[in-house]
Structure 1
Amino acid sequence: MSKCIYLVEDDDDIRFIVEYVLIEEGYEVKAFGTASEFHKGLSTNKIDLIILDVMLPDGNGIDICRKLKTNNQTSHIPVVIMSAHAAEKSILEEACADGFINKPFDLKDLTNQIKTHLKT
């Protein structure tokens, strides 16, 4: 069974590319353009990893990550933050994230980081 990744990214082009690459790598991907879409789509089904953009039109990836990490039902899910505007160390600490991807990113680096967090 393939691993399920939730992707929250408001930029349509970046979301499309990341989703495409992850599907080609054999992952099941559920992609969302806003925080509210993500919250509506968040299910009790098995989620193996969440990739969160920091700047969303209706929310903040750091806040979303913190809420996920303090909720007993979701705290075990690895969360990787993506941002072009943030320093890695401060984001990891502030958001309690498991990983950080700096935009712009190399697709090979993206897939390697995902594999590391999924231990595949």
Structure 2
Amino acid sequence: MNKKTILIFDDDVNILELCSIVLSESGYHVEISETSHDIIEKVAKTSPDVILMDNWIPDIGGIKATQLLKNDPQFHHIPVIYFSANNDIHILAETAGADAYLSKPFDLNDLENIVSEIILKSKD
């Protein structure tokens, strides 16, 4: 079975490291990025199965980056899980066009569960 690739956009290196460790241990291949302005290039290079997108990522922010991806005919099918510490994360995720969202701080089990759920859904 091919390893699924998760691409994480977050400017917090601690979160990148934590998510990378947890998801790698769950059997995923993890790629990371601390900026989002080159999202299309990064996605083209890594061909992720799922993207985790932080709201406050430089340089263009998570909403704009997600919208760029969702408006791209080549990549709009890739599920995006939006994550943020904002109270109105569901509104941000909806505005961005994300497929799911996860509030920070999050439980590591919730992270694993939402990623596997989204991967299962995207097989349909």
Once the two structures are superposed, residues 66-115 of structure 1 have per-residue CA deviations (whole angstroms, 9 ceiling, x without a partner) of 11111110110000001002413312320110000100000000110000
1:38–1:72 distance in 2 versus 1, CA, 3 Å: closer
Matched, 1:103 2:104: yes
Inter-partner Cα distance in structure 1 for 2:20 and 2:38: 16
1:60 aligns with 61
Q: Contact 2:66/2:97 (CA < 8 Å) preserved in 1? A: yes
Shift of 1:24: 0.4
1:6 deviates by: 0.5
Q: Secondary structure at the match of 1:81?
A: strand
Structure 1 residue 93 corresponds to structure 2 residue 79: no
Residue aligned with 1:85, SS: coil
**Alpha-carbon shift at residue 44 of structure 1 (Å):** 5.2
Cα offset, 1:56, TM superposition: 1.4
Q: Cα distance, 1:59 vs. partner?
A: 2.0
Q: Which amino acid aligns with 2:68?
A: K
Deviation of the 1:16 alpha carbon: 0.2
Residue 37 of structure 1: how far off its partner (Å)? 5.8
Unaligned runs of 5+ in 2: none
Cα separation, 2, equivalents of 1:37 and 1:12: 18
Residue in structure 2 matched with residue 23 of structure 1 by the alignment: 24
Identify which range, 88-97 or 32-41, moves more after superposition: 32-41
Contact 2:55 2:62 in 1 (8 A): yes
Q: Which amino acid aligns with 2:51?
A: I
TM-score (norm 2): 0.88
Task: State TM-score, norm by structure 1.
Answer: 0.91
Q: How many pairs are equivalent?
A: 120
Q: Percent same amino acid at aligned positions?
A: 33
RMSD, aligned CA: 1.7
Counterpart Cα distance in 1 of 2:39 and 2:33:
6
Partner of 2:44: helix, strand, or coil?
A: coil
Structure 1 portions without partners, runs of 5+: none
